[in-house]
Structure 1
Amino acid sequence: MRKLIYGMNQSLDGYIAATGDDIGWSGPPSEELFQWWLDLEQTCELALYGRKLWETMSSYWPTGDQRPDATPAEQEFARTWRDTPKVVFSSTIDKVDWNARLVTGDAVAEITRLKAEDGGPMHIGGATLAAAAMRAGLIDEYVVATHPVLVGGGTPFFTALDGWVNLDMLDTRTFPGGVVMTRYEARR
């Protein structure tokens, strides 16, 4: 059975995007934080994306390594991103590329099916998609990179749930700029 990891940057008040889908508050990550995200990306065998995050990622990373100012870590991230198989969940777009396939039907059923397969970890991104997986009890690990900023509203990292989800802390780490990374595992 595959492990499903949900990880994203969030503001101290719990939002992955401020009102208007503004993610500018997180600024460019420190080299150390970027390397941490790259290391996580390289451990995952499959990436699951909601439409908005897919559009953000696919607008930059397919050629991110070809930018003249790209750091070695950014070059490696772009190559890893292109090579990692991806599943995009959306009912509003009709095609995807960059080693991805599109699922327009029941996201929870497809994620459940993918989790039941043999293979390495999967990561999930995008608030709406992750919320559906959270409500279905499919997330095995939460990775929260909390930035020292209050944005006052927007898209929350966590969704409303019908019941408690007990977690065990796996790791905590501080990065430059006051970013605190915490990792939790869902207690089963």
Structure 2
Amino acid sequence: MAKLIYAINESLDGYIEDRQGSLDWSVSDDELFSFWTDFQRSIGTYLYGRRMYDAMVYWENPSGQPFHDPKASQEFSRIWRNAHKTVFSRTLEKASTGNTEIVHAFDADQIRQLKASAAEDLTIGGPDFAGQALKAGLVDDCYFLVNPIILGGGKRALPENHQIQLQLLDLRRFRSGVVMLHYRVAQ
């Protein structure tokens, strides 16, 4: 059975956005971009909430100045386009990207079926959506890329008022000061 993975950039105090909804504080360099590109290679399906999908649509047809090395950006874009995407949204009627389906409600049984039938791992994106999946016991692994900044407020990476036991599997320190923590969720 494939694993469902929650992978997210966050501040040291656990926020994915600052109080203004900005991600400008998040470290983005070639070493981290290479990590994310390699990480995506084993993913066959992305499960997104609406806002995360809207943020990732850029990779369908990247234009303008690339974030990183143009070849690296093209490779990330190719991986992203080839993967299946399922967007869970009550308001989105039509996808603006290929290989994408829209589902209008969170359905734990549907996600269990996706995991059981998938040949490759799945990721879940968006903290509210991932929070629902964590509470439902669907998430197998978490990757937290902890940035060396304290935001003091904003949008939380994890649901509040829900205890989840984790087992550390791996950690990695990047030159930028970002630390990757890979955990298995205790089931």
Q: TM-score normalized by structure 1?
A: 0.91
CA-to-partner distance for each residue in 1:99-134, whole Å, 9 max, x for gaps? 110000233232122122242110111011101001
Shift of 1:167: 1.6
Tell me the SS of whatever aligns to 2:25: helix
Shift of 1:98: 2.3
What residue is the counterpart of 2:35 in the other structure?
36
What residue is the counterpart of 1:169 in the other structure?
168
Number of aligned residue pairs: 184
Aligned pairs (5 A) from 1:1-188:
1-27=1-27, 29-58=28-57, 60-64=58-62, 67=64, 69=66, 71=69, 72-96=71-95, 97-162=97-162, 164-188=163-187
Structure whose residues are more often helix by fraction: 1
- Alpha carbons of 1:14 and 1:177: their partners in 2 closer, same or farther (altered >3 Å)? same
Gaps of 5+ in 2: none
- One-letter identity of the residue aligned with 1:50: G
Shift of 1:2: 1.7
Shift of 1:161: 4.5
Tell me the SS of whatever aligns to 2:134: helix
Matches of 1:55 and 1:118, distance apart in 2:
24
- One-letter identity of the residue aligned with 1:37: W
CA-to-partner distance for each residue in 1:24-78, whole Å, 9 max, x for gaps? 1104x121111111111111111111100100110x11122x5454522111001
- One-letter identity of the residue aligned with 1:133: A
- One-letter identity of the residue aligned with 1:172: L
Matches of 2:123 and 2:102, distance apart in 1:
16
Matches of 1:124 and 1:112, distance apart in 2:
13
Q: Are the equivalent residues in 2 in contact too, given 1:10–1:144 (CA < 8 A)?
A: yes
CA-to-partner distance for each residue in 1:7-35, whole Å, 9 max, x for gaps? 010001100111232111104x1211111
Gaps of 5+ in 1: none
RMSD in angstroms over aligned alpha carbons?
A: 1.5
Q: Are the equivalent residues in 2 in contact too, given 1:5–1:139 (CA < 8 A)?
A: yes
- Alpha carbons of 1:45 and 1:17: their partners in 2 closer, same or farther (altered >3 Å)? same
